[in-house]
Amino acid sequence: MKAFALTRYGKKDTVSAVERAVPDLRDDDVLVQIHATSVNPLDLKIRNGELKPLLPYNLPLVLGNDLAGIVVKTGPRVRRFAPGDAVYAKPRQDRIGTFAEYLAVNENDVAKKPASVDMNEAAALPLVSLTAWQALVDKAQLRPGQKVLIHAGSGGLGTIAIQLAKHLGATVATTTGTQNVEWVRKLGADIVIDYKTQDFATELRDYDLVLDTQGGKTLDRSFQVVKPGGAVISVAGPPEPTFAREFGANWLLVQAMRALSFSVRRKAKQRSVTYSFLFMTANGDQLRKLATLVDAGVIRPVIDRVYPFGSTLDALAYVESGHARGKVVVNVRDDHEYR
Protein backbone atom coordinates (compact mmCIF):
# COMPACT_ATOMS: atom_id res chain seq x y z
CA MET A 1 0.00 0.00 0.00
CA LYS A 2 1.03 3.64 -0.41
CA ALA A 3 1.84 5.70 2.68
CA PHE A 4 3.72 8.81 3.81
CA ALA A 5 6.39 8.09 6.42
CA LEU A 6 8.73 10.10 8.62
CA THR A 7 12.29 8.84 8.07
CA ARG A 8 14.12 11.27 10.38
CA TYR A 9 13.08 14.10 12.67
CA GLY A 10 13.15 17.64 11.32
CA LYS A 11 11.25 20.15 9.20
CA LYS A 12 12.93 19.71 5.81
CA ASP A 13 12.68 16.65 3.55
CA THR A 14 11.88 14.26 6.39
CA VAL A 15 8.55 12.83 5.15
CA SER A 16 8.28 10.91 1.90
CA ALA A 17 6.00 8.56 -0.03
CA VAL A 18 6.76 4.89 0.68
CA GLU A 19 5.37 1.43 -0.01
CA ARG A 20 4.29 -0.57 3.04
CA ALA A 21 2.62 -3.92 3.62
CA VAL A 22 -1.04 -3.80 4.62
CA PRO A 23 -1.01 -3.96 8.44
CA ASP A 24 -1.63 -7.25 10.24
CA LEU A 25 -4.66 -7.48 12.52
CA ARG A 26 -4.60 -8.07 16.24
CA ASP A 27 -7.54 -9.97 17.72
CA ASP A 28 -9.37 -6.75 18.75
CA ASP A 29 -8.60 -4.80 15.57
CA VAL A 30 -10.54 -3.71 12.54
CA LEU A 31 -8.72 -3.17 9.25
CA VAL A 32 -9.92 0.09 7.70
CA GLN A 33 -9.51 1.02 4.07
CA ILE A 34 -8.90 4.73 4.50
CA HIS A 35 -10.93 7.04 2.27
CA ALA A 36 -9.84 10.31 3.89
CA THR A 37 -7.54 11.64 6.58
CA SER A 38 -6.71 15.11 7.87
CA VAL A 39 -3.63 17.03 8.95
CA ASN A 40 -3.21 18.32 12.51
CA PRO A 41 -0.55 20.46 14.20
CA LEU A 42 0.21 17.27 16.17
CA ASP A 43 1.56 15.71 12.97
CA LEU A 44 4.01 18.60 12.60
CA LYS A 45 5.11 18.35 16.23
CA ILE A 46 5.79 14.64 15.79
CA ARG A 47 7.64 15.30 12.51
CA ASN A 48 9.80 17.99 14.10
CA GLY A 49 10.77 15.78 17.04
CA GLU A 50 9.12 18.06 19.61
CA LEU A 51 7.37 15.14 21.32
CA LYS A 52 10.26 12.66 21.42
CA PRO A 53 10.46 12.65 25.24
CA LEU A 54 6.76 11.74 25.50
CA LEU A 55 6.41 9.65 22.33
CA PRO A 56 9.66 7.83 21.56
CA TYR A 57 8.65 6.45 18.15
CA ASN A 58 10.82 4.09 16.15
CA LEU A 59 11.48 5.48 12.69
CA PRO A 60 10.44 5.20 9.93
CA LEU A 61 6.93 6.07 11.08
CA VAL A 62 3.79 6.53 9.00
CA LEU A 63 2.22 9.81 10.18
CA GLY A 64 -1.45 10.72 10.52
CA ASN A 65 -3.98 10.86 13.37
CA ASP A 66 -7.44 10.99 11.76
CA LEU A 67 -9.30 8.63 9.46
CA ALA A 68 -12.62 7.93 7.82
CA GLY A 69 -13.09 4.80 5.78
CA ILE A 70 -14.59 1.35 5.36
CA VAL A 71 -13.96 -1.72 7.51
CA VAL A 72 -12.64 -4.48 5.25
CA LYS A 73 -11.63 -7.10 7.82
CA THR A 74 -12.10 -7.75 11.55
CA GLY A 75 -10.17 -9.63 14.21
CA PRO A 76 -11.72 -12.70 15.88
CA ARG A 77 -12.70 -10.78 19.06
CA VAL A 78 -14.34 -7.82 17.31
CA ARG A 79 -18.06 -7.55 18.07
CA ARG A 80 -19.08 -3.98 17.18
CA PHE A 81 -18.08 -3.84 13.52
CA ALA A 82 -18.33 -5.87 10.34
CA PRO A 83 -16.82 -5.54 6.86
CA GLY A 84 -18.59 -2.80 4.94
CA ASP A 85 -19.15 -0.51 7.94
CA ALA A 86 -18.35 3.16 7.34
CA VAL A 87 -16.31 4.37 10.33
CA TYR A 88 -14.19 7.20 11.64
CA ALA A 89 -11.45 7.10 14.26
CA LYS A 90 -8.47 8.63 16.02
CA PRO A 91 -6.09 5.70 16.58
CA ARG A 92 -4.30 5.54 19.91
CA GLN A 93 -0.97 7.33 19.97
CA ASP A 94 1.26 4.27 19.70
CA ARG A 95 -0.62 3.10 16.57
CA ILE A 96 -0.94 6.21 14.43
CA GLY A 97 -0.46 6.03 10.68
CA THR A 98 -3.49 7.36 8.82
CA PHE A 99 -1.45 8.84 5.95
CA ALA A 100 -1.85 5.45 4.29
CA GLU A 101 -4.33 3.39 2.32
CA TYR A 102 -5.04 0.99 5.21
CA LEU A 103 -4.69 0.98 8.99
CA ALA A 104 -5.43 -1.58 11.70
CA VAL A 105 -7.20 0.09 14.63
CA ASN A 106 -8.39 -1.27 17.97
CA GLU A 107 -12.20 -1.51 17.82
CA ASN A 108 -12.49 0.51 21.06
CA ASP A 109 -11.06 3.53 19.23
CA VAL A 110 -13.51 3.35 16.31
CA ALA A 111 -17.10 4.57 15.82
CA LYS A 112 -19.62 4.46 13.00
CA LYS A 113 -19.22 7.49 10.77
CA PRO A 114 -21.89 10.17 11.23
CA ALA A 115 -24.48 9.45 8.56
CA SER A 116 -24.98 13.10 7.64
CA VAL A 117 -21.42 13.77 6.46
CA ASP A 118 -19.21 12.38 3.73
CA MET A 119 -15.80 10.77 4.19
CA ASN A 120 -13.84 14.01 3.86
CA GLU A 121 -16.01 15.74 6.44
CA ALA A 122 -15.83 12.77 8.81
CA ALA A 123 -12.02 12.69 8.57
CA ALA A 124 -11.92 16.31 9.75
CA LEU A 125 -13.54 15.44 13.08
CA PRO A 126 -11.89 12.79 15.29
CA LEU A 127 -8.84 14.45 16.86
CA VAL A 128 -10.28 17.94 17.25
CA SER A 129 -13.74 16.83 18.39
CA LEU A 130 -12.25 14.43 20.95
CA THR A 131 -9.94 17.18 22.20
CA ALA A 132 -12.85 19.60 22.56
CA TRP A 133 -14.96 16.97 24.35
CA GLN A 134 -12.19 15.95 26.74
CA ALA A 135 -11.40 19.59 27.56
CA LEU A 136 -14.91 21.00 27.90
CA VAL A 137 -16.89 17.97 29.11
CA ASP A 138 -14.42 15.67 30.89
CA LYS A 139 -11.96 18.14 32.43
CA ALA A 140 -13.87 21.40 32.78
CA GLN A 141 -17.39 19.94 33.17
CA LEU A 142 -18.63 23.10 31.48
CA ARG A 143 -22.13 24.08 32.60
CA PRO A 144 -24.88 26.34 31.23
CA GLY A 145 -24.27 29.98 32.08
CA GLN A 146 -20.50 29.68 32.45
CA LYS A 147 -18.10 31.77 30.37
CA VAL A 148 -15.32 30.24 28.28
CA LEU A 149 -12.57 31.82 26.18
CA ILE A 150 -11.43 29.64 23.28
CA HIS A 151 -8.25 30.84 21.62
CA ALA A 152 -7.82 30.66 17.83
CA GLY A 153 -11.49 30.17 17.08
CA SER A 154 -10.91 29.79 13.35
CA GLY A 155 -8.50 26.85 13.76
CA GLY A 156 -9.36 23.18 13.54
CA LEU A 157 -9.87 22.76 17.29
CA GLY A 158 -11.37 26.20 17.81
CA THR A 159 -14.15 25.73 15.26
CA ILE A 160 -15.37 22.55 16.97
CA ALA A 161 -14.83 23.80 20.53
CA ILE A 162 -16.97 26.90 19.87
CA GLN A 163 -19.86 24.77 18.62
CA LEU A 164 -19.62 22.28 21.49
CA ALA A 165 -19.35 25.00 24.14
CA LYS A 166 -22.47 26.71 22.78
CA HIS A 167 -24.30 23.38 22.85
CA LEU A 168 -23.30 23.03 26.51
CA GLY A 169 -24.91 26.39 27.26
CA ALA A 170 -21.81 28.51 27.79
CA THR A 171 -21.15 32.10 26.79
CA VAL A 172 -18.28 31.81 24.31
CA ALA A 173 -15.53 34.32 23.59
CA THR A 174 -12.84 33.63 21.04
CA THR A 175 -9.79 35.22 19.45
CA THR A 176 -9.16 35.38 15.72
CA GLY A 177 -7.81 37.60 12.95
CA THR A 178 -9.72 40.47 11.36
CA GLN A 179 -10.72 38.47 8.28
CA ASN A 180 -12.41 35.78 10.40
CA VAL A 181 -14.35 37.88 12.92
CA GLU A 182 -17.79 37.55 11.32
CA TRP A 183 -17.11 33.96 10.28
CA VAL A 184 -16.48 32.73 13.85
CA ARG A 185 -19.57 34.64 15.01
CA LYS A 186 -21.59 32.50 12.62
CA LEU A 187 -20.10 29.41 14.27
CA GLY A 188 -21.63 30.57 17.55
CA ALA A 189 -19.09 32.81 19.28
CA ASP A 190 -20.81 35.46 21.40
CA ILE A 191 -17.75 37.69 21.81
CA VAL A 192 -14.98 37.88 19.20
CA ILE A 193 -11.63 39.49 19.96
CA ASP A 194 -9.70 40.58 16.87
CA TYR A 195 -6.16 39.93 18.07
CA LYS A 196 -4.79 42.35 15.47
CA THR A 197 -6.59 45.33 17.00
CA GLN A 198 -7.71 44.18 20.46
CA ASP A 199 -6.10 42.73 23.58
CA PHE A 200 -8.12 39.85 25.03
CA ALA A 201 -6.42 40.22 28.43
CA THR A 202 -7.79 43.74 28.88
CA GLU A 203 -11.15 43.17 27.16
CA LEU A 204 -12.29 40.06 29.08
CA ARG A 205 -12.83 39.45 32.79
CA ASP A 206 -14.14 36.81 35.22
CA TYR A 207 -14.14 33.82 32.88
CA ASP A 208 -14.69 30.33 34.23
CA LEU A 209 -12.47 28.65 31.66
CA VAL A 210 -9.84 29.32 29.02
CA LEU A 211 -9.07 26.70 26.37
CA ASP A 212 -5.56 27.61 25.23
CA THR A 213 -4.34 26.42 21.83
CA GLN A 214 -1.36 28.76 21.51
CA GLY A 215 0.95 28.43 24.51
CA GLY A 216 3.68 31.00 25.16
CA LYS A 217 2.64 34.58 25.90
CA THR A 218 -0.99 33.86 25.05
CA LEU A 219 -1.10 31.20 27.76
CA ASP A 220 0.70 33.45 30.27
CA ARG A 221 -1.79 36.28 29.74
CA SER A 222 -4.81 33.98 29.80
CA PHE A 223 -4.61 33.76 33.59
CA GLN A 224 -5.59 37.43 33.76
CA VAL A 225 -9.09 36.76 32.41
CA VAL A 226 -9.99 33.80 34.66
CA LYS A 227 -11.78 34.35 37.94
CA PRO A 228 -10.58 32.66 41.15
CA GLY A 229 -11.63 29.02 41.12
CA GLY A 230 -11.60 28.93 37.33
CA ALA A 231 -9.40 26.88 35.06
CA VAL A 232 -6.98 27.16 32.17
CA ILE A 233 -6.68 24.05 30.01
CA SER A 234 -3.91 24.08 27.42
CA VAL A 235 -3.10 21.82 24.50
CA ALA A 236 0.02 23.88 23.69
CA GLY A 237 1.54 24.83 27.04
CA PRO A 238 4.03 22.91 29.17
CA PRO A 239 2.82 19.58 30.59
CA GLU A 240 2.64 19.61 34.37
CA PRO A 241 3.94 16.82 36.69
CA THR A 242 0.45 15.38 37.27
CA PHE A 243 0.01 14.84 33.55
CA ALA A 244 3.48 13.34 33.25
CA ARG A 245 2.77 10.78 35.97
CA GLU A 246 -0.62 9.87 34.47
CA PHE A 247 1.05 9.50 31.05
CA GLY A 248 3.50 7.01 32.53
CA ALA A 249 6.61 9.17 32.20
CA ASN A 250 9.74 8.13 34.05
CA TRP A 251 11.02 10.02 37.10
CA LEU A 252 13.49 12.15 35.14
CA LEU A 253 10.83 13.25 32.66
CA VAL A 254 8.42 14.09 35.48
CA GLN A 255 11.08 16.32 37.03
CA ALA A 256 11.81 17.95 33.68
CA MET A 257 8.13 18.76 33.24
CA ARG A 258 7.98 20.07 36.78
CA ALA A 259 10.71 22.55 35.88
CA LEU A 260 9.25 23.49 32.48
CA SER A 261 5.81 24.16 33.91
CA PHE A 262 6.97 25.91 37.10
CA SER A 263 6.31 29.46 35.86
CA VAL A 264 2.84 28.62 34.52
CA ARG A 265 1.85 26.74 37.67
CA ARG A 266 3.04 29.66 39.80
CA LYS A 267 0.90 32.11 37.81
CA ALA A 268 -2.10 29.81 38.25
CA LYS A 269 -1.53 29.53 41.99
CA GLN A 270 -1.15 33.29 42.40
CA ARG A 271 -4.57 33.81 40.85
CA SER A 272 -6.23 30.78 42.55
CA VAL A 273 -6.75 29.18 39.15
CA THR A 274 -6.29 25.56 38.07
CA TYR A 275 -3.85 24.87 35.22
CA SER A 276 -3.75 21.59 33.33
CA PHE A 277 -2.23 20.29 30.12
CA LEU A 278 -4.42 18.14 27.87
CA PHE A 279 -3.13 15.47 25.51
CA MET A 280 -6.24 13.88 24.07
CA THR A 281 -6.70 10.11 24.04
CA ALA A 282 -8.46 7.84 21.56
CA ASN A 283 -12.02 7.00 22.58
CA GLY A 284 -14.60 5.30 20.40
CA ASP A 285 -17.42 5.78 22.92
CA GLN A 286 -16.94 9.56 22.82
CA LEU A 287 -16.83 9.50 19.01
CA ARG A 288 -20.21 7.77 19.06
CA LYS A 289 -21.64 10.58 21.21
CA LEU A 290 -20.08 13.17 18.94
CA ALA A 291 -21.51 11.45 15.85
CA THR A 292 -24.97 11.91 17.38
CA LEU A 293 -24.30 15.63 17.78
CA VAL A 294 -23.06 15.87 14.19
CA ASP A 295 -26.15 14.12 12.84
CA ALA A 296 -28.36 16.38 14.96
CA GLY A 297 -26.75 19.44 13.38
CA VAL A 298 -25.19 20.61 16.66
CA ILE A 299 -21.63 20.26 15.35
CA ARG A 300 -20.56 20.58 11.75
CA PRO A 301 -17.08 19.89 10.43
CA VAL A 302 -15.26 22.90 8.99
CA ILE A 303 -12.91 22.23 6.08
CA ASP A 304 -10.53 24.75 4.55
CA ARG A 305 -9.00 22.65 1.75
CA VAL A 306 -8.99 19.09 0.44
CA TYR A 307 -5.79 17.70 -1.09
CA PRO A 308 -5.38 14.51 -3.13
CA PHE A 309 -3.38 11.75 -1.44
CA GLY A 310 -0.36 12.35 -3.66
CA SER A 311 -0.19 15.93 -2.35
CA THR A 312 -0.01 15.01 1.36
CA LEU A 313 3.28 16.93 1.72
CA ASP A 314 1.57 20.05 0.35
CA ALA A 315 -1.21 19.59 2.92
CA LEU A 316 1.39 19.42 5.70
CA ALA A 317 3.05 22.57 4.39
CA TYR A 318 -0.26 24.44 4.26
CA VAL A 319 -1.08 23.57 7.87
CA GLU A 320 2.43 24.63 8.85
CA SER A 321 1.83 28.03 7.22
CA GLY A 322 -0.75 28.79 9.92
CA HIS A 323 -3.34 30.10 7.46
CA ALA A 324 -5.83 27.22 7.59
CA ARG A 325 -9.40 28.10 8.55
CA GLY A 326 -10.80 24.89 9.99
CA LYS A 327 -9.31 21.55 8.92
CA VAL A 328 -7.13 20.46 6.02
CA VAL A 329 -8.22 17.11 4.62
CA VAL A 330 -6.40 14.58 2.44
CA ASN A 331 -8.65 12.52 0.16
CA VAL A 332 -7.01 9.09 0.06
CA ARG A 333 -9.68 7.53 -2.16
CA ASP A 334 -11.74 9.64 -4.50
CA ASP A 335 -15.12 8.39 -3.24
CA HIS A 336 -16.95 11.61 -2.41
CA GLU A 337 -20.33 10.06 -3.09
CA TYR A 338 -19.90 7.30 -0.48
CA ARG A 339 -21.92 8.34 2.58
Do 112 and 133 fall within a single domain?
Answer: no
- In tens, the pLDDT along 178-207 reads 999 999 999 999 999 999 999 999 999 999
Residues 98 and 196 in one domain: no
- Rounded Cα distance, 57 and 89, in Å: 20
214 shares a domain with 187:
yes
Number of C-alpha atoms within 13 angstroms, CB side, residue 173? Answer: 24
Residue 264 shares a structural domain with residue 134: yes
Q: Rounded to whole angstroms, how far apart are CA atoms 18 and 178?
A: 41
Specify the CATH number for the domain of residue 113.
3.90.180.10
Range of the domain at 183: 128-277
The Cβ of residue 217 has, within 10 Å, a number of other Cβ atoms equal to: 9
Of 29, 33, 17, 120, the closest CA to residue 70 belongs to: 33
Within this chain, do residues 159 and 137 fall inside the same structural domain, yes or no?
A: yes
pLDDT of residue 286: 98
d(CA 168, CA 136): 9
In the chain, what's the furthest Cα-to-Cα distance? 58
Q: What is the C-alpha separation between 191 and 209, in angstroms, rounded?
A: 14
DSSP H/E element including 61: strand 61-62
In a domain, 288, yes or no: no
Q: Is 135 exposed, middle or buried (0-12, 13-18, 19+ CB in 10 A)?
A: buried
Enumerate residue ranges in the chain where pLDDT < 50.
335-339
Q: Which amino acid is at 190?
A: D
Predicted TM-score (pTM) of this structure: 0.96
CA-CA distance, 44 to 315, in Å (whole number)? 11
pLDDT attached to residue 207? 98
Contact 83, 36 (CB under 8 A): no
Preceding omega of 238 cis (within 30 degrees of 0): no
**Residues 142 and 196 occupy one common structural domain:** yes
Residue 210: phi and psi, rounded to 5, are -120, 130
- For residue 247, the model assigns a pLDDT of 87
Q: Same domain for 119 and 141?
A: no
Domain count, the chain: 2
Question: Do 134 and 253 lie in a common domain?
Answer: yes
Pairing state between β 171-176 and 147-150: parallel
d(CA 112, CA 213): 28
Domain check: are 98 and 143 in the same one?
Answer: no
- Pair 135, 200 in one domain: yes
Pure H helices in 61-188: 119-123, 126-133, 156-167, 181-187
Residue 54: the pLDDT is: 87
The reply to whether 289 falls in a domain is no
Residues 266 and 146 in one domain: yes
